[in-house]
Amino acid sequence: MKGKIESGNLCTVVPVPNHDELRTGDIVLCKVHGTEYLHLVKAIQAGRFQIGNNRGRINEWIGPSSIFGKCISVEP
């Protein structure tokens, strides 16, 4: 399965002033174990976000302070 974003794609990320606006399926720029990634929001529960990739892997739950922005466009 191919990812939604491939290495070398140009991504536009905007700040997320209100994390209540994030939805399952959104692509977010987040920090996981000290490294920044673009990940999919897989689930939302009690003010925290389950993040994972497009290949079916679930990474973990993170808080809103670990999410820096939302991807709004991807260009090859």
Tokens 């990940």 found at: 39
* Per-residue model confidence (pLDDT) at position 53: 85
Q: Is the predicted pLDDT of residue 1 greater than 60, yes or no?
A: no
* pLDDT tens, residue by residue, 13-66: 999 999 999 999 999 999 988 999 999 999 999 999 999 987 888 989 999 999
User: Which of these, 47, 42, 73, lies nearest to 60 by C-alpha position?
Assistant: 42
Q: Is 34 left (phi over 0), alpha (psi -120 to 50) or beta?
A: left
* pLDDT tens, residue by residue, 3-19: 678 888 999 999 999 99
User: How many whole angstroms from its chain centre is CA 55?
Assistant: 14
What is 10-75's CATH number?
Answer: 2.30.30.140
Tokens 């892997």 found at: 57
